[in-house]
Amino acid sequence: MPSFLDPLAGFGVSFRTIFKKTMTESYPEHPHPVARRFHGRHQLNRHPDGLEKCIGCELCAWACPADAIYVQGSQNTEDARFSPGERYGSVYQINYLRCILCGLCVEACPTRALTMTNEYELADTTRASLIYEKGDLLAPLLPGMEAPPHGMRLGDDERAYYLGAGLVSATNTSGGGAESAAGQEGGS
Ligand code: SF4
Ligand code: SF4
């Protein structure tokens, strides 16, 4: 039941706020830093020689509760190799109109191909531009990396890549490219 003291209580809140320190965020000129494990835009990672970690298995798409991921796997050949092993993700899309940035897809990925960056500025003006294609999600080529398709530079089979033999080899041959590659994965 309303009381005649209610307006006074309201003014009390205003009065207390007058003496609080002003917090002004100068966004977007100075974006506030987020926590290191903040779930932002996804990234498709690469091996230290530039081959893609994604093997087109679709586990991320099956794990997604929002049906936001579409993956199409294709066969690698010796003439056109994009990842170690048999298959690679030839089509990879994430629909950010649906994605709730929960990270379940990252948990499902068996090769650590998919991680999430800290990037949160995902707003755009059209629906189509919020469907990110593989080219939008792939990690950039770092020093020591070569754009696929190319052969397996860091081992004879995919097992060598997954066990990290390629990392050691790249460190020896590229003078630090591998460290950069390892650090390329997103925060979570
Ligand atoms: S973060 Fe969650 S909602 Fe977004 S694509 Fe991954 S599993 Fe789907
Ligand atoms: S990102 Fe990972 S889970 Fe998704 S298709 Fe590629 S390898 Fe499979």
Query: Ligand 1 atom 1: the closest Cα is on which residue?
Result: 101
Q: Which ligand is nearest to the CA of 94?
A: 1
Phi, psi for 70 (deg, rounded to 5):
-125, 125
For the chain, the domains span 39-175
- Ligand 2 pocket: which of 42, 44, 105, 114 to mutate (most atoms <8 Å of CB)? 114
H or E, element range at 9: helix 6-18
Amino acid at 60: C
Q: Residue 128 Cα, ligand 1 centroid: separation in angstroms?
A: 18
Span 123-138, average pLDDT: 97
Span 138-153, average pLDDT: 96
Q: Which ligand is nearest to the CA of 116?
A: 1
Span 81-102, average pLDDT: 97
In tens, the pLDDT along 171-186 reads 433 333 333 333 356 5
Q: Residue 182 Cα, ligand 1 centroid: separation in angstroms?
A: 23
Q: Is 59 in the pocket of ligand 2 (CB under 6 A)?
A: yes
Query: What is residue 184's predicted lDDT score, i.e. its pLDDT?
Result: 52
- Ligand 2 pocket: which of 71, 88, 107, 158 to mutate (most atoms <8 Å of CB)? 71
CATH class of 39-175: alpha beta
The set of protein residues with a Cβ atom below 6 angstroms from ligand 1 is 63-64, 66, 68-69, 94, 99-105
**Quick one: 90 exposed, middle or buried, by C-beta within 10 A (0-12, 13-18, 19+)?**
middle
Q: Residue 89 Cα, ligand 1 centroid: separation in angstroms?
A: 17
Report the largest interatomic distance among the alpha carbons of the chain, rounded to a whole angstrom: 82
Query: Ligand 1 atom 4: the closest Cα is on which residue?
Result: 99
Span 6-25, average pLDDT: 87
Query: What is residue 188's predicted lDDT score, i.e. its pLDDT?
Result: 57
Q: Is 167 in the pocket of ligand 2 (CB under 6 A)?
A: no
Structure tokens at 1: 């039941």
Structure tokens at 50: 């530039």
Query: What is residue 162's predicted lDDT score, i.e. its pLDDT?
Result: 85
Helix (DSSP H) and strand (DSSP E) numbers for the chain: 7, 5
pTM of the model: 0.81
Structure tokens at 51: 């081959």
